[in-house]
Amino acid sequence: MCCNVTRRPPVVGCMASVMNRAAGAGRGKWPAAFLLPLAAGTALAADYFVAPGGADTNPGTHARPFATLGRAAAAVAPGDTCHLRAGVYRETFRPARSGEPGRPIIRAAYRNESAIISGVDPITGWKRKSDGLFTASMPWTLDDEDQVFADGAMLSEARWPDAGGNFLFEPRRAVVSQGGPDRLSCPQLPGPDGAWTGARLWCAGGAAWICSAARMSTSAALACSAPESAPTPSPPTSSSRA
């Protein structure tokens, strides 16, 4: 077992009538009027703009753009185009509607500008806790799915054992000496009693094909308990890794 602690309104319709003497027609004779209707409900495609310096109270024009992709998503309709001005957009948004056959909704960078939609938020206020270990607070968490990047490179979060250089595919792991569905013992576990209480424990039981994670309720010098952990098909044994 392996464990790690860690838009716009439509054109309703218009009609034009043309009355002219027809070439060669007898004097006083007029041809019937020509009616040129537009189909009711036909709408022209619109262009909306979004810019970091805009405001969601704006109409979304080139001169007065929206500020967020979410606001633009609520405005666009099939056939419209949303132009993103240069900048980084750090937000999560859900399109309010889809395009239609032959009338897609297009979201693209404006001309040759560089527009980036990012799924990460900057974290500031880092403090050194110990050699190679830094901490900083953040206003939200995805729990097991948090991911840290520095200068565009993906990093591993602080954990024990240290994940090592190839942490994504071959992370370093500790081996437990004994354990069960809700308790593990590991002679290598550092720190005094209670040091790991509240930490996140990641385990791969048995042949390490199935993994589970839980919050540790208590921790002693060589043991930890996670009674809320989901049961694994293969309970931890002396060959399990942590």
Average pLDDT for consecutive 10-residue bins of the chain (242 residues)? 38 32 42 43 82 97 97 96 96 89 96 91 88 85 83 84 79 79 78 83 74 78 52 44 52
Q: Are residues 102 and 170 in the same domain?
A: no
* 82 domain-assigned: yes
Choose one of 64, 95, 118: the last residue of a domain.
Answer: 118
* 91 domain-assigned: yes
* 212 domain-assigned: yes
* 168 domain-assigned: yes
Q: Are residues 113 and 188 in the same domain?
A: no
Q: Are residues 187 and 208 in the same domain?
A: yes
Q: Are residues 103 and 189 in the same domain?
A: no
Q: Are residues 94 and 158 in the same domain?
A: no
* 107 domain-assigned: yes
The pLDDT value recorded for residue 202 is: 81
pTM of the model: 0.57
* C-alpha–C-alpha distance, residues 97 and 99, integer Å: 7
Q: 80 is in which domain, residue-wise? A: 47-118
The pLDDT value recorded for residue 38 is: 43
Choose one of 74, 101, 118: the last residue of a domain.
Answer: 118
Contacts of 114 (CB under 8 A, 6+ apart): 86
* 5 domain-assigned: no
Helices (H), the chain: 69-75
- Scan for tokens 């919050």, then name that residue: 215
Residue 213 and residue 202 in contact, taking contact as beta carbons nearer than 8 Å: yes
* Count: domains in the chain: 2
Q: Are residues 108 and 196 in the same domain?
A: no
Residue 233 and residue 208 in contact, taking contact as beta carbons nearer than 8 Å: no
Q: Are residues 151 and 72 in the same domain?
A: no
Q: Are residues 80 and 152 in the same domain?
A: no
* 10 domain-assigned: no
The strand ranges marked E within the chain are 4-5, 17-18, 34-35, 47-50, 81-84, 87-90, 106-109, 115-118, 127-130, 133-135, 148-150, 153-155, 178-180, 183-185, 200-205, 210-215, 218-219, 223-225
The pLDDT value recorded for residue 78 is: 96
Positive/negative CA dihedral, 199, 133, 179, 241: positive
Q: Are residues 101 and 139 in the same domain?
A: no
* C-alpha–C-alpha distance, residues 150 and 146, integer Å: 14
Residue 228 and residue 183 in contact, taking contact as beta carbons nearer than 8 Å: no
* 191 domain-assigned: yes
Residues making up the chain, counted from first to last: 242
Residue 184 and residue 224 in contact, taking contact as beta carbons nearer than 8 Å: yes
Other beta carbons less than 10 A from residue 66's beta carbon = 24
Residue 196 and residue 216 in contact, taking contact as beta carbons nearer than 8 Å: yes
Q: Are residues 133 and 212 in the same domain?
A: yes
Q: Are residues 142 and 168 in the same domain?
A: yes
Q: Are residues 214 and 131 in the same domain?
A: yes
For residue 239, give the nearest of 207, 216, 196, 200 by alpha carbon.
207
